[in-house]
């Protein structure tokens, strides 16, 4: 039973990785006052463009309409001042928000392709990496094209950009990609690379990678190794700063406590995450997806099948809504065209 729960978790974390723990450029609602204060005093256009973009990303989880507004403002300012980096960044941001908030893969793909086009012309490696990364996720979700090629392309540009966050994300998703193929040695190799990349840069990201590593070990029946590493991680809990958001923090704590069989602590963490989510002006369905899935796994591991059944019903309802919302015929057609263009590009190179 435990292995089934772990397999399901690792498989579906790939499908919605972008919405669960995407590292680069994380800004939160707590940053909004300071960003607004900076924006009112800064006159340099390139800095204003960046602040407008960061404001848009900060509003993402609370007031998504404001997110669209500020990122569009960033795009307009960057265009008017010939700031190509700012244009690529804003186009990527609009793709991200369309994926995350509007759940519209068609619009998202259009914006990512625009970001790629301007990034290629101007050697903007970071947004080439980020855009290919998310297109790889869409490719994997729709089973169109070669997502591994897209991930490797993303990694290539992440290395050229010398951006640890982008490299971390690709290493992490490659781990899950190879897990799905049952290539567990490769999966383990990539999650270790992600831990090495994040440990020297952000403890919270390392912690999240570490929980994935423990789950991968448990799935391979390397229980003693997994528990030893989980105990090491538990000593680091107090040092976490919630850098990648409270949702990720609470769910990572719940996952760790589940591994260590501290079930009441795990449930407390998940239910707190659920109550915070339900109190938001706009409930985040992607967050509900993971909370209900984690709760179902926890209750099954405890043998509380009544609670597991209810969590499973809630999870299924959210899953069906997300599937119907994000994958449209238009986005599949656009992905097919992108695959054809990618194949032509390979032949010409």
d(Cα 92, Cα 108) in Å, to the nearest integer?
9
Q: Is the pLDDT of residue 18 over 60?
A: no
- Report in angstroms the alpha-carbon separations of 295 from 16, 23, 259, 298, 312: 17, 24, 13, 5, 8
- Mean pLDDT for the stretch of residues 146-161: 97
Q: Residue 113: pLDDT above 60?
A: yes
Check residues 250 and 339 and name the one with the higher pLDDT: 250
As a 3-state breakdown, the chain gives helix, strand, coil percent values, each rounded to 5, of 80, 0, 20
CA 60 – CA 68 distance, rounded (Å): 8
Q: What is the spatial distance between Cα 203 and Cα 198, in angstroms, rounded to a whole number?
A: 7
Angle between helices 223-234 and 246-259 (to 10 degrees): 130
pLDDT of the residue at 77: 98
Assess whether pLDDT exceeds 70 at residue 50: yes
Residue with tokens 């390139």: 46
Task: Name the one residue in this structure whose structure tokens are 């707190």.
Answer: 272
Arithmetic mean of pLDDT, 145-157:
95
pLDDT for 8: 47
- pLDDT tens for 51-100 read 999 999 988 767 778 999 999 999 999 999 999 999 999 999 999 998 87
pLDDT confidence of residue 341: 57
Mean pLDDT of 152-169: 97
CB 233 within 8 A of CB 226: no
Task: Flag whether pLDDT at 5 surpasses 80.
Answer: no
pLDDT given for residue 103 in this prediction: 77
- Domains in the chain, ordered, with CATH? 245-327 (1.25.40)
For residue 16, what pLDDT is reported? 43
Q: How far is CA 336 from CA 119, 273, 312, 328, in A?
A: 22, 37, 33, 13
Q: What is the crossing angle of helices 164-180 and 203-219, to 10°? A: 10
In the prediction, which pLDDT does 140 show? 85
Comparing 228 with 10, which gets the higher pLDDT? 228
Residue 231 has pLDDT above 70, yes or no: yes
Contacts of 339 (CB under 8 A, 6+ apart): 139, 144, 145, 146
pLDDT on residue 325: 59
Phi, psi dihedrals of residue 234, rounded to the nearest 5°: -60, -30
pLDDT at residue 127 tops 90: yes
Helix and strand numbers (H, E) in the chain are 18, 0
Average pLDDT over residues 244-250: 89
Average pLDDT, the chain: 86
The DSSP call for residue 238 is G
Report, as an integer, the average pLDDT of 155-172: 96
Q: Of 23, 83, 95, 91, which Cα lies nearest the Cα of 47? A: 83
Q: Which two tokens stand for residue 320?
A: 């069906």
Give me the mean pLDDT over the 237-243 stretch: 91
Asked if pLDDT for residue 322 goes beyond 70, the answer is no
Q: Which pLDDT score is estimated for 332?
A: 56
Q: Which of residues 292 and 4 earns the better pLDDT score?
A: 292
pLDDT band with cut points at 50, 70 and 90 for residue 15: very low
Q: Determine the pLDDT at residue 24.
A: 43
Going by pLDDT thresholds of 50, 70 and 90, the confidence category of residue 329 is: very low
Q: Which residues of 277-304 are buried (b: 16+ CB within 10 A; e: fewer)?
A: beeeeeebbbbbbbbbbbbbbbbbbbee
pLDDT over 50 at 147, yes or no: yes
Q: What is the dihedral of CA 190, 193, 199, 204, to 10 degrees?
A: -20
User: What pLDDT sits at residue 318?
Assistant: 81
Percent of the chain with pLDDT over 70: 83
Task: Average the pLDDT over each of 93-102, 148-157, 278-287 and give the range with the smallest value.
Answer: 278-287
pLDDT in tens, 306-320: 999 999 888 888 877
pLDDT average, residue stretch 145-151: 94
Q: What is the mean pLDDT of residues 113-134?
A: 97
As a whole number, mean pLDDT of residues 187-195 equals 97
The per-residue DSSP string of 19-42 comes to HH---TT---GGGHHHHHHHHHH-
């Amino acid at each position: 039973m435990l292995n089934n729960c772990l397999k399901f978790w690792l498989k579906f974390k790939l499908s919605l990785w972008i919405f669960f723990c995407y590292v680069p450029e994380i800004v939160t609602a707590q940053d909004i006052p300071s960003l607004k204060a900076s924006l009112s005093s800064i006159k340099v256009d390139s800095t204003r463009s960046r602040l407008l973009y960061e404001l848009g990303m900060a509003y993402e989880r609370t007031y998504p309409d404001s997110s669209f507004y500020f990122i569009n403002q960033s795009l307009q300012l960057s265009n008017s001042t010939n700031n190509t980096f700012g244009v690529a960044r804003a186009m990527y941001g609009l793709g991200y928000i369309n994926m995350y908030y509007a759940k519209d893969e068609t619009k998202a793909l259009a914006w990512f392709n625009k970001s790629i086009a301007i990034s290629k012309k101007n050697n903007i490696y970071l947004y080439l990496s980020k855009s290919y990364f998310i297109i790889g996720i869409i490719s994997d979700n729709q089973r169109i094209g070669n997502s591994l090629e897209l991930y490797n392309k993303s990694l290539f540009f992440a290395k050229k950009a010398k951006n640890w966050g982008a490299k971390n994300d690709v290493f992490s998703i490659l781990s899950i990609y190879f897990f799905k193929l049952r290539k567990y040695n490769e999966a383990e190799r990539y999650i270790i690379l992600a831990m090495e990349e994040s440990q020297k840069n952000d403890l919270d990201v390392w912690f999240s990678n570490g929980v994935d590593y423990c789950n991968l070990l448990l799935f391979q029946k390397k229980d003693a190794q997994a528990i030893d590493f989980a105990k090491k991680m538990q000593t680091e809990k107090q040092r976490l700063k919630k850098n990648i958001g409270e949702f990720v923090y609470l769910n990572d704590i719940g996952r760790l406590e589940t591994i260590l069989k501290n079930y009441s602590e795990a449930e407390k963490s998940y239910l707190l995450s659920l109550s915070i989510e339900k109190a938001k002006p706009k409930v985040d369905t992607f967050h509900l997806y993971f909370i209900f899935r984690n709760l179902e796994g926890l209750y099954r591991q405890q043998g509380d099948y009544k609670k597991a059944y209810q969590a499973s019903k809630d999870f299924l309802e959210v899953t069906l809504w997300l599937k119907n919302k994000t994958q449209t015929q238009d986005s599949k057609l656009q992905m097919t065209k992108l695959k054809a263009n990618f194949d032509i590009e390979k032949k010409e190179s």
